[in-house]
Amino acid sequence: MRTKQQGFTMIEILLVVIIISVLAAMIVPNFVGKGQKARLSAAKADIESNLTLALDMYELENGTYPSTEQGLKALVVKPQSSPVPEDWSGPYLKKKKIPTDPWGREYQYSAPGVKNPESYDLFSFGPDGVESDDDITNWYEIE
């Protein structure tokens, strides 16, 4: 007496593979580039909100922004170089450390700024790590 063997035929397996491939072809492009977009958004948030708020609090208490020499480190450790802030009551960053950009590099800071001579320039070199059109900055180019 023969029993009927159960299993999938080669055609059934091929159909399932084709269906999965078609679904993947429709879905995967929606996720490609999302990581890069998220990194750009995180850098913009740091520059336009997090670091800007900390720098503004520093300036409010001390009368000036940290100098280029003091850098962003002045937001976590009281500067010892001139001008030494009299009313420093930091750290001004919640995590008590200077964040790096989403690509693992330091944010660039200078005060007074070249683009913002009345305050400071703050920027990230972006994904490519060099000065180019993909930089994330705290100034706006007027074209």
For the chain, the domains span 36-137
User: Is the pTM above the cut of 0.85?
Assistant: no
- Domain 36-137, CATH: 3.30.700.10
Q: How high is the pLDDT of residue 68? A: 93
Interval 21-40: pLDDT, tens: 888 877 776 666 677 888 88
Interval 120-139: pLDDT, tens: 999 999 888 888 888 889 98
Kindly give the parts of the chain with pLDDT less than 70: 1-5, 29-33, 141-143
Q: In whole angstroms, what is the distance from residue 123 CA to residue 116 CA?
A: 12
The most distant pair of C-alpha atoms in the chain lies apart, rounded to whole Å, by 98
